[in-house]
Amino acid sequence: MKSRREFLTSALGASAVLLSAACGGNTQPAAAPTAAPAKPTTAPAAAPTTATAAQPTAAGAAAAKPTAAAAAQPTAAPAAAAKPTAPSNLSGATVTLLQWNHFIPTADPFFKQQAEDWGKQTGVNITVETINANDLTPRFTAAIQGQSGPTIFQMQYLAPHAFAEGLYDLSDMAKEIEPKYGKYYAQVNTSATVDGKYRGIPYNIVGNAFVYRKDYFTQAGVSVPTTWDELRAIVPKLAAIGKPVGQTFAQTFGDAPTFFYPLLWAHGGKEVEQDGKTVAINSPETITAVKFAKAMWDEGLDKRAASWDDSGNNTAFLADEISATLNGASIYFVGAGLDGKTAPKPWAENMDHFLPPKGPSGQFAWFLDFNHCIPTYVKGKDLDASKEYLRYVYDPKQYDAWFELQKGYSIGPGDRLEQSPLWATWPKPLLPFKTAGKIARALGYAGQPTAQTNEVFAKYVIVNMFARAAVQGMAPEDSVKQAEAEMKQIYGA
Amino acid sequence: MTVRATATATGSSAAAVERGGVLQTVERFLDREGVLGYLLMTPALLLLIIFIAYPFVLGVWYSMSDVQIFGLGKFIGLKNYTDLLNSPVFLQTVKNSFVYTGFATVFKLGLGLGMALVLNQHFPLKNLIRSSVLLPYIVPTALSTLAFLLAFNPTLSPLPWIFGPLHIPYPAAGFLGDPALAMGAVIFVNVWRGTPFFAISLLAGLQTIPQDLYEAAAIDGANAPNRFRHITVPLLTPVLTIVMLFSIIQTFADFQIVQVLTRGGPADSTHLFATLAYQTGMQGGRLGQGAAVSLYMLPFLGLLVIAQLWYTRRNASR
């Protein structure tokens, strides 16, 4: 009997400990873990800048000069960043940022180093977690549902629309930051604002352009296409020399939708009517676009691309297996050895870019854009610290160093960085990205984007509409009809 | 001093008696089997409530609500369920789930039984090989599937180097680019992973069959196929049935292999209930409908569980 009682006592004691541990997850530590004194806001803004501005030097001597140039750029930003808006003592607070695995290999370590520097300055426990971009949304959903998780979400595309209810209105900060970057580009601005409120702070745009091999174009006797029809015409010719054009038709977040949405719009197709609610995908224009994609597929696109994720075309291009593909500047970045670590490919000089071409209805593009959002479950000191960290990230001294590291792969949320003298120092093939932000259109055309627009995107309804017809051989009309059925269900029509 | 000491001693002994009384009461209370039984059950019950019952009830509520990402949503009855019946992707998913489960189970059963029969023989390093057979089953599924993802990678796959010299045509879109081949690929990985479970379970079943039955049958002139048919099969059936039911339940609700290899693609052609529920609820932000997709599995899995319990009890009562 005694052993039973002992067992029960131990079991109850252990349960109590477990329960208290489980229930205490959201409590702040009773005492700050460090004894760091209160710091003025200016200190964290200024001090790490020196460290981070010096970092790109490691990438090569050539990179060091522009850093200085960027840091010396006269902007009103430092003064703005120095505003005493932050609480006097953030020490002991916790900031966790969840974002994608960057496609520029050196970008994540650089960004994390900046964060670490800021953490040391402020005494804030900061963690930057990077995961595969395809897995970001489920993590956001789990965090919002569980009311626990990262204190800052770096969201892509229209995610702020889907999560709006669970995100703080950051309009004040977005407006405070906008003057540092020039007027926000339309696409990233639309992504961040829901019903006129900024649920995210526009951060950057990763432009997509066709990276191609000039030598293979010459060999095949083709020139850079300016229209979709011309692009279609070069596909069989490049396939004939064994270096096809590669375009993914798979369920992946970047290279598939950034190809198919602009292709749809260029042929006059639209997802919904102007009211943003009435599904309008089943139109002759959409069917024409789907038939066009199917023809390109049949006439010589690389068949392996049927299941490429976003890194698939990078791998194939860098392995010298394809002649052109739609991508961010990451292929060029690695191929030309711009990180200072990877040796340039022997054919690096033959790479160049061209933007998505024109169609019967015009030239359109849609790019990967990013916003920083703070979920409403973040409170108190953690909230203050998260906001302060974002001020630090958006301080041009930090931002410009990060921008410089990527050499045009990522552009700013507004047009200020179009004027950066760095563009003149970077390889000419990167120039198409300089003004890419100006030609991007938001999803959900011909209406304004909504949470439903994001759901259509997240479920790959448009991408699969093209894939079913091209890769699986379904009649284009039937594939469009299926997409219409899916969209009507999503829009509740 | 003495008086005070005595008084203190008297007081403390009274307190000790009182404490003893309380302890005795507690002891008597705990000695009652009914009380102790419930107390011992409480931790398990709490775990079941917190980790099984609560999520299940919440899932049922979600499936009948319009919850998106935030909050609990409004009650909308069976709308999520009826909407799904009009979704081509969902109907495709139902078909996929049965194809996936059916083919995978048949192959796992056949290969597992064959492997068990081989492992039941005497050969050198028998124990080492028997243990090694379990490796695919004990390696975390996501990890082993990542290895297959590399093997099936459309650009980096080593398979064309193997297929080429053997004059086997390698599919132009690779194994994950074509709907039928992608389904074949995920079934293949499931079979690779699940066969050891069948093999080891059936091996355990084989070892419970008395050898003298085989010897007696051999003396009576029964050849190997006959011994297998008339001794092995009937005596192995109880284990076989339970293993199959377990496997069907696991396979039908599978998630990791498809999520890692194809994420339901190409063009939704390999979605299973679990991956579609994940895409709908977690990626698409429509938790209510995602829960409804999951709960569509319930009737089928419920029937299997009932069959399993019925079979187990019937055998136990014999």
B89 touches chain A (CB under 8 A): yes
Phi then psi for residue B74, to 5 deg, are -105, 150
Short-list A225, A171, A133, A208, CA closest to A433? A208
Both B239 and B187 in a single domain?
A: yes
Both B119 and B239 in a single domain?
A: yes
Both B121 and B252 in a single domain?
A: yes
Q: Note whether A459 contacts B267, CB cutoff 8 Å.
A: no
Say if residues A157 and A457 touch (Cβ distance below 8 Å): yes
pLDDT digits (tens, 9 = 90+) for A429-439: 999 899 888 88
Chain A residues whose CB is inside 8 A of the B58 CB are none
CB pairs under 8 A between A and B: 138
Task: For an interface test with B, give the residue of A134, A136, A141 to mutate (most B CBs within 10 A).
Answer: A141
Domains identified in chain B, total number: 2
Chain A residues whose CB is inside 8 A of the B156 CB are 315
Average pLDDT, chain A: 84
Both B31 and B145 in a single domain?
A: no
Residue A29: is its pLDDT beyond 60? no
Both B44 and B88 in a single domain?
A: no
For residue B38, which amino acid is it? Y
Nearest chain B alpha carbon to A248: B177
Chain B residues whose CB is inside 8 A of the A321 CB are 155
Torsion of CA A389, A144, B263, A450, to 10 degrees: -90
User: Domain extents for chain A?
Assistant: 59-207+368-435, 209-366+459-491
B111-141: buried (b, 16+ CB within 10 Å) or exposed (e) per residue? Answer: bbbebbbebbeeeeeeeeebeebeebbeeeb
pLDDT digits (tens, 9 = 90+) for B27-82: 888 888 888 888 999 999 999 999 999 999 999 999 999 988 888 889 999 999 99
- Which residues, 6 or more positions from B23, have their beta carbon under 8 angstroms from its beta carbon? none
Q: Note whether A455 contacts B27, CB cutoff 8 Å.
A: no
pLDDT band for position A10 (50/70/90)?
low
Q: What is the pLDDT of residue A493?
A: 59
Query: What is the spatial distance between Cα A53 and Cα B208, in angstroms, rounded to a whole number?
Result: 72
Q: What is the pLDDT of residue A245?
A: 98
B34: in domain: yes
B100: in domain: yes
Look up the CATH number of the domain holding residue B90: 1.10.3720.10
Both B28 and B91 in a single domain?
A: no
Q: Which CATH number fits domain A209-366+459-491: 3.40.50.1820, 3.40.50.620, 3.40.190.10, 2.102.10.10?
A: 3.40.190.10
pLDDT digits (tens, 9 = 90+) for A238-265: 999 999 999 999 999 899 999 999 999 9
Both B26 and B88 in a single domain?
A: no
The segments of chain B whose pLDDT lies below 70 read 1-19, 316-318
pLDDT digits (tens, 9 = 90+) for A101-117: 998 888 999 999 999 99
| CB-nearest partner of A145 from B27, B69, B83 | B69
Residue A54: is its pLDDT beyond 60? no
B70: in domain: no
Both B198 and B265 in a single domain?
A: yes
Q: Note whether A471 contacts B281, CB cutoff 8 Å.
A: no
Query: What is the spatial distance between Cα B42 and Cα B45, in angstroms, rounded to a whole number?
Result: 5
Chain B residues whose CB is inside 8 A of the A451 CB are 68, 285
> What is the nearest CA distance from A33 to chain B, expressed in angstroms?
33
pLDDT digits (tens, 9 = 90+) for A146-166: 899 999 999 999 999 999 999
Q: Among residues 146-205 of chain B, which lie with CB inside 8 Å of chain A?
A: 154-156, 172-174, 176-179, 182
What's the rounded mean pLDDT across residues A304-324?
A: 94
Q: What is the pLDDT of residue A71?
A: 36
| CB-nearest partner of A142 from B177, B178, B282 | B282
For the beta sheet containing A245-246, the strands, ordered from the edge strand earlier in sequence to the opposite edge, are: A245-246, A324-327, A209-213, A351-354
- Topology match between the domains A59-207+368-435 and A209-366+459-491: yes
B287 touches chain A (CB under 8 A): yes
Q: What is the pLDDT of residue A437?
A: 86
| CB-nearest partner of A472 from B70, B156, B179 | B179
For residue A155, which amino acid is it? M
Residue A11: is its pLDDT beyond 70? no
Both B21 and B161 in a single domain?
A: no
| CB-nearest partner of A138 from B36, B278, B286 | B278
What's the rounded mean pLDDT across residues A434-461?
A: 90
Query: What is the spatial distance between Cα A145 and Cα A246, in angstroms, rounded to a whole number?
Result: 39
Query: What is the spatial distance between Cα B129 and Cα B126, in angstroms, rounded to a whole number?
Result: 5
| CB-nearest partner of A304 from B39, B155, B280 | B155
Both B18 and B149 in a single domain?
A: no
Both B20 and B140 in a single domain?
A: no
What's the rounded mean pLDDT across residues A29-36?
A: 35
Phi then psi for residue A308, to 5 deg, are -65, 135
Q: Which domain holds residue B151?
A: 79-317
Q: What is the CA radius of gyration of chain A?
A: 25
DSSP state of B75: B
Torsion of CA A39, A45, A47, A52, to 10 degrees: 150
Where would I find the beta strands (DSSP E) of A166-248?
Answer: 193-194, 197-198, 201-206, 209-213, 245-246
Nearest chain B alpha carbon to A16: B43
Query: What is the spatial distance between Cα A454 and Cα A157, in angstroms, rounded to a whole number?
Result: 8
Q: What is the pLDDT of residue B243?
A: 92
Task: For an interface test with B, give the residue of A8, A294, A307 to mutate (most B CBs within 10 A).
Answer: A307
What's the rounded mean pLDDT across residues A134-154?
A: 93
| CB-nearest partner of A162 from B39, B69, B179 | B69
Short-list A366, A318, A325, A309, CA closest to A345? A318
B21: in domain: yes
B231: in domain: yes
Residue A298: is its pLDDT beyond 70? yes
CATH number of the A59-207+368-435 domain? 3.40.190.10
Chain B residues whose CB is inside 8 A of the A131 CB are none
CA dihedral (A327, A331, A336, A338) positive or negative: positive
pLDDT band for position A39 (50/70/90)?
very low
- Per DSSP, what are the bridge partners of residue A362? A359
Q: How far is CA B235 from the centre of its chain?
A: 25
Short-list A283, A452, A454, CA closest to A361? A283
Q: Note whether A306 contacts B281, CB cutoff 8 Å.
A: no
Both B177 and B40 in a single domain?
A: no
Chain B residues whose CB is inside 8 A of the A9 CB are none
B95: in domain: yes
Q: What is the pLDDT of residue B58?
A: 93
Q: What is the pLDDT of residue B15?
A: 63
Q: What is the pLDDT of residue B33?
A: 82
Q: What is the pLDDT of residue A80?
A: 37
N residues, chain A: 493
B67: in domain: no
